[in-house]
Structure 1
Amino acid sequence: MVWMSQVYIKYLYIRKEYNINCRTIEHTTCGFLHNLAFIRNIKLERGIEMNVTKYGAEDLLDLSKVKLVDVIDIEFLQKFQDDFAVGLGLASVTVDLDGKPVTNPSRYTKFCMDFTHSTEIGDKRCAESHRKGGEEAARTGKPYIYECHAGLIDFAVPIMLEGRQIGTILGGQILSHTPELDKYDRIAKEIGVNSQEYIGAVKDVKTLEMERIEAAANVLWTVANNITRAWYDQHKLGGIAKILNENITQMSATTEQMAASANEVNENQIKLNKEIQNVSTLTGKINDVIDFIKEIADETRLLGLNAAIEAAKAGEAGLGFGVVAQEIRKLSSDSKQTVNKIKEFTQEIKNSVAHTVKMGDSTTTATQQQAAAIEEVSASLQDIAGLSDTLENLASK
């Protein structure tokens, strides 16, 4: 992998630029930084930079965004790693996909930290050994056991999630057989450390049969991957519940707005019906006035008729009065016709108003039913929201 070589070169540059010595770094974590099979970025100044990103619910469902710290209890992992290291007498640390430790190192050896990693040559050789071992573990998705340049046995255990690597448990710093002292005398001279002290340190390194080392790596792989899978499923369940809850909350708010709108429409319709009833009342009053005008017209017609009779009796002296009486009768007749037309119009208005009122009543009934139905839906959504809250709480335990 080209990027691994580039990152390693970058690491050497950073170390030289800041004059960093592995033994001066907090928690002596630098030593196992070389054990990262998939280092993408290393930032070393006065310690190890820890960067835990928090994701939303949707991101938990997207594997490309899931980090190791999102799906595993680091406190539990630290205790498990410590107990495992003490129980088998080997070193161990867990790192994320960016090569950053998410746990503190467990049971690191003096041989590695105080001697092998104390020189630039030793550092470089360790990095190369573990790079190759890590590449193989990442390629196969299974534990890979290998011998480092200093003759110790190390292993890289990939933490996989649905076929995607999200971290690695690095372990080892042990022997599988009695060390050949001449070999370590030669290595000490090559990396530039005191031979006698180096040989003394390697004698303190625990020895385990290769069969037990393989079993240890396999146990780590099985436990870590199954726990990660279980925790991821739990987080995914919680994420789904949270998304469901958010959607239900939004739907509930929408239905409440719809119910409020339906109630407002209902209130407006009731007001409109009242106004229409007022129009109907006014139309009735107009009809009363029209009837009164009609009565006046009828009386005027009678007066005109009487006047015409009296004019006829008066002979020539009543001719002028007869003309006036005729005009009065004509005006009365025209007024009566006009009144009849107005009455027809008001009757049509009255009929239209009655029809509108009937439609308004239907609209009012429909909006009332709609508001009631929306309230029922809103109540159901609240019940579902309560269930999703319970589901989310269960997933977070």
Structure 2
Amino acid sequence: MELTDLLPLEKWAQLENEIHERSGLESNVFNTDGIRITDNKIWVNRLCPAIKATDKGQSFICAVAHMNLANQAREEHRPVIEECDAGLMKIVVPIVVDGEFIGAVGACGLLPVGGEVDAFLVNKMTDLPEAEIASLCDDLAVIETNSAEEVAQFIWEKIEAIVAEA
């Protein structure tokens, strides 16, 4: 089963927008290979586009975080909330139909309360100067742990409703 067997791409994009509007997080739906299925893109900070603009940043920070959390969500059949290697909050909710993992919804891009961006790691992965990284982080929005848990639950309930209608 494919994600588009559950909903057309336009409806997945609407869900991404709804998650963003509710949480302030960037949201994307991913297939089992970790590839975004829509071209919907709403940046929630200035750091993430700079990281993703580099091959190593996209491959070694963003993709690794998504795949690790998606694998955990797939195995546990539940939402996972962690930080990516850059230090930003990431939520991954599995999409499971009849026991089969067919994709995931990811939401990310805000700084956990009390957290900080790992400028050293971002510099090593992307070659962006640490001063530029610091500048890109000076207006990062923050998310409370309980807010992240509420977002994960909201996404989980949306996905369960979509799967139930399939």
TM-score interval, normalised by the smaller of the two chains = 0.7 to 0.9
Aligned to 1:111, which of 34, 44, 47?
Answer: 47
Asked if residue 200 in structure 1 is aligned to residue 135 in structure 2, the reply is yes
Structure 1 counterpart of 2:30, which letter? V
In the TM superposition, what are the counterparts of 1:52-91 in structure 2 within 5 Å? 66-91=1-26
Provide the rounded CA distance (Å) in 2 between the counterparts of 1:70 and 1:189.
Answer: 41
Change (3 A) 1:100 1:128: closer
Change (3 A) 1:163 1:143: same
Aligned to 2:96, which of 152, 155, 160?
Answer: 160
Provide the rounded CA distance (Å) in 1 between the counterparts of 2:37 and 2:58.
Answer: 22
Secondary structure class of the residue paired with 2:143: coil
Aligned to 2:145, which of 186, 210, 213?
Answer: 210
Q: Structure 1: which 5+ runs fail to align?
A: 1-65, 233-397
Q: Contact (CA 8 Å) 1:93, 1:104: kept in 2 or not? A: no
Asked if residue 146 in structure 1 is aligned to residue 92 in structure 2, the reply is no
Secondary structure class of the residue paired with 2:112: coil
Change (3 A) 1:122 1:221: same
Q: Structure 2: which 5+ runs fail to align?
A: none
Could you tell me how far 1:178 is from its partner in structure 2? 4.5
RMSD: 2.1
Name 1:238's counterpart in structure 2. none
Name 2:34's counterpart in structure 1. 99
Q: Contact (CA 8 Å) 1:161, 1:225: kept in 2 or not? A: no
Secondary structure class of the residue paired with 1:197: helix
Structure 2 counterpart of 1:189, which letter? N
Q: Contact (CA 8 Å) 2:65, 2:84: kept in 1 or not? A: yes
Secondary structure class of the residue paired with 1:149: coil
Bigger relative contact order, structure 1 or 2, given CA contacts below 8 A and separation 6+? 2
Name 1:174's counterpart in structure 2. 110
Asked if residue 132 in structure 1 is aligned to residue 68 in structure 2, the reply is yes
Change (3 A) 1:162 1:151: same
Aligned to 1:189, which of 106, 123, 128?
Answer: 123
Q: Contact (CA 8 Å) 1:90, 1:206: kept in 2 or not? A: no
Secondary structure class of the residue paired with 1:134: helix
Change (3 A) 1:102 1:161: same
Q: Contact (CA 8 Å) 2:20, 2:26: kept in 1 or not? A: yes
Residue by residue over 1:118-157, the C-alpha shift from the partner in whole angstroms, topping out at 9 and shown as x without a partner, is 3344334313333221210111111111111100111211
Secondary structure class of the residue paired with 1:123: helix
Q: Contact (CA 8 Å) 2:34, 2:66: kept in 1 or not? A: no
Q: Contact (CA 8 Å) 2:123, 2:133: kept in 1 or not? A: no
Could you tell me how far 1:79 is from its partner in structure 2? 1.6
Q: Which ranges of 4 or more aligned residues in structure 1 deviate by more than 3 Å?
A: 118-121, 178-181
- Please identify which structure carries the higher helix content: 1
In the TM superposition, what are the counterparts of 1:1-397 in structure 2 within 5 Å? 66-108=1-43, 109-114=45-50, 116-126=51-61, 127-180=63-116, 183-184=118-119, 186-191=120-125, 192-230=127-165, 232=166
Provide the rounded CA distance (Å) in 2 between the counterparts of 1:188 and 1:97.
Answer: 26
Q: Contact (CA 8 Å) 1:143, 1:155: kept in 2 or not? A: yes
Q: Contact (CA 8 Å) 1:179, 1:202: kept in 2 or not? A: no
User: TM-score normalised to the size of structure 1?
Assistant: 0.38
Residue by residue over 1:4-44, the C-alpha shift from the partner in whole angstroms, topping out at 9 and shown as x without a partner, is xxxxxxxxxxxxxxxxxxxxxxxxxxxxxxxxxxxxxxxxx
Rg larger for: 1
Q: Contact (CA 8 Å) 1:85, 1:106: kept in 2 or not? A: no
Structure 2 counterpart of 1:140, which letter? E
